Amino acid sequence: MPDTELSPALVRAESLIRSIPDYPEAGIIFRDITPLLADAEALQATTDAIIAPFAGQFDVVAGIEARGFILAGAAAIAAGVGLIPIRKAGKLPRPAASVDYALEYGTATIEMHDDLPAGSRVLLIDDVLATGGTLAAGRELVERLGSHVVGISVLFEIDGLGGREAIGDLHTVFHA
């Protein structure tokens, strides 16, 4: 079950997410959110649902590359706060910290600048929760750089991969 009651706009938004089998490799089902992003009403409803449980509790949104950037950017604008990108290794000119983590189908590294004032309250956003590795690494980065993650919100969670157990408390709009 989603963490929120689905409005008609959210039901429609969920229907716009396409499942692409065997991408990026055999056995993986990729969730394509492009049709959702292209629909203004669906994007607005989704953005509102992503931030609603944390309204007034955060100073900045951190989004994880790549699709998490899109959702985090929309959320930051809707909430009237700034955006901090968490990038894949080698994409930032002056990373302050990095964390290695395991993916569902490999390993990766993410990095972040230290542009946040110490003690900032951060809402961490990504598109999908699978095994939890990316979000756990994102939370570690934010906290390593002196800020506090007040909440984690994802567009959807893939049930059965252990992500919720790895992350703990988080907000999910949809389940796959």
Catalytic annotation present for 67 = yes
- The one catalytic residue in 104, 140, 144, 164 is 104
DSSP characters over the chain: --SSPPPHHHHHHHHTPEEEET-SSTT-EEEE-HHHHT-HHHHHHHHHHHHGGGTTS-SEEEEETTHHHHHHHHHHHHHT-EEEEEEETT-SSS-SEEEEEEETTEEEEEEE---SPTT-EEEEEEEEESSSHHHHHHHHHHHHTT-EEEEEEEEEE-TTSSHHHHH-S-EEEEE-
Q: Catalytic pick from 14, 31, 67, 111?
A: 67
Burial of 159 by CB count in 10 Å (0-12 exposed, 13-18 middle, 19+ buried)?
A: middle
Residue 104 is among the residues annotated as catalytic for this protein:
yes
How far is 69 from 138, CA to CA, in rounded Å?
A: 13
Active site residues: 67, 104
